[in-house]
Structure 1
Amino acid sequence: MQTSVPSCNDTNVSEHFKPHPWLKSAHLQTLWSRISRYQPRAKFDIEILPTPDGDELDLAWLKGAKTQADAPIVVIFHGLEGSAKSAYADQLAITSVEQGADAVVMQFRTCSGRLNKTPVAYHSGAYEDPLHTLQHIADKYPNRPIHAAGFSLGANMLVNLLGRVENPPIQRAVAVCPPLDLASSSLRMNKGFSRVYRNHLLNSLKQKTYQKLELGIFSDVLDLNPRKLLTCKDFPQFDDCVTAPLHGFQGANEYYEKCSGKQYLRNITTPTLVIHAQDDPLMSQEVIPSSEDLSPQVHYEMHRHGGHVGFITQHEGAAKPWLPGRIMRWFGSEIKAR
């Protein structure tokens, strides 16, 4: 992603990310959790939350043994085909508890290890399930501040929620590597090594879609068969064939147009940090907001390195994730004051 927007060397970026000297490559940053064979450490408790349409969400909670009754809750929204087991979600949940908060990962439908009951799944602009989750938490814990962090798809979704919902129950928010222009991001993944990421994610989505086809879950709502599904070779094709019609859009173009988060940044009234990496292999320069796109409550950081939801730095000679600390420092004034 080549751009002249503010980088980590500019004075208006409040924190500078310095990559591990051996991990400056965008792909090493992006793939480090897999290369290092990261094993999730959080021992989550699962809460099953019914949805208004008769489905269920699996909320993965991590609570501290001595968390104060008025301590903040950090709500985490993972990326495409992620889960509570994703390294970034696991690391942020653990860091949240270490700093005195509780954490919960809202796992999107089909992402918790089981298929959901209804035809609909999730997409980059579907904020209804997250809003339902946030309202549930706010009702259950009325005296506790709620912070939210989204990653990749979950970050774009969070921007949609913050910019389209009046007075969301969130005190502070962070959006990490959001694909704020969905059309350009979907095409960027057709280039070079990024096709490896595309194929991995697309195969996972197609497998789940095939399973739901076999169970007859789509029978009344989607004109789809296994042969047609196999012809979907990239995200524009899959979104045109599955995502868009399944969620009420005329096609992929309408889905991308209505759900790209960049257009909603100017409406955000919640203090929000947006983090991008200039070398993100899944993004193009179209995702970068202009100063006119940003509301006064949005703080934007563009760093030279970091890859896609990577941001691996060095600490005492070892590779260490930088994002959990950065996110918690953004939330920190609320947490440390309690």
Structure 2
Amino acid sequence: MTKFKLEYIWLDGYKPVPNLRGKTQIKEYDAFPTLEQLPLWGFDGSSTEQAEGRSSDCVLKPVALYPDPARTNGVLVMCEVMMPDGKTPHASNSRATILDDADTWFGFEQEYFFYKDGRPLGFPEQGYPAPQGPYYTGVGYKNVGNIARQIVEEHLDLCLAAGINHEGINAEVAKGQWEFQVFGKGSKKAADEIWMARYLLTRLCEKYCIDIEWHCKPLGDTDWNGSGMHCNFSTKFMREVGGKAYFEALMAQFEKNLDDHIAVYGPDNHLRLTGKHETAPWNKFSYGVADRGASIRVPHSFVNNGYRGYLEDRRPNSQGDPYQIASQVLKTISEVPTEGYATAAA
């Protein structure tokens, strides 16, 4: 028997953006445990904005697990928060009721800032560094400093060792800003892995005395870029049938549901989606081929392949809850009937 360190991880009840929480218990198993072997576990919800002190019990229900490469015999356990009966989802549990479809694939591009001493990593104590331009995919000390790349490389290795489908990293447009990408099949799987990658990055930065700033526009009304979490999506129908007529019907439905999407695409998005800095205004919908200033960017590959493949919704922001984002995208797609398009696409 081996003693395993089970790190139960969940989202608290803070609004408008939940925080990641975690606590460890030790359990003995013959081998790396399965999800079915992991017990429910209680916690004090009054300390996480999920209960009152007079009735503070909440329950953690394991829903996904990963090896924890930073610990000997470690297990990362993604959990949903349940009521004391262990069966009823807590009101803050955004995962329990979302739409999910394993044939709908999602790729999230998570942007963020490294912060130290109250400012982006690499910013001077007063004022700003040189204007944006050389930092995006930049190389060299003057562009990326001497710590950031070390952290993102270590984070990449941690994610891969944990089995997270991490697909890439790059320095972003603003100094101190970076991005990683995660791909998953189905809303829950893709979102689980984004949250777990966020957890690993935040925990990793503890030893560097650096914080992660997830806010979508931390530098306010300036010419410095905000942070997004672009959502690439593709259904089985989009990949195998598609067609221009279906695409146009889908875009019409996205435009119709503009307010529903913006409502779950992350708080303070009006500060980021201004129509400047390669963004579409938050209250207008647009799409265009290779247009980084559109609400939805249509890849050349999509058009060249007979309007088949994937699309990129550029409106979700870096603070957004990927469970809600993926679910809303899937909801809008499901409202467009697919009957009658196969012949036209062929």
- Mark yes or no: TM-score above 0.5: no
Q: What TM-score range do you get, normalising by the shorter chain? A: under 0.3
Structure holding more helix per residue: 1
State which structure, 1 or 2, has the greater radius of gyration over its C-alpha atoms.
2
TM-score normalised to structure 2 length: 0.25
Structure holding more strand per residue: 2
Question: Which structure's relative contact order is higher, taking Cα pairs within 8 Å and 6+ residues apart?
Answer: 1
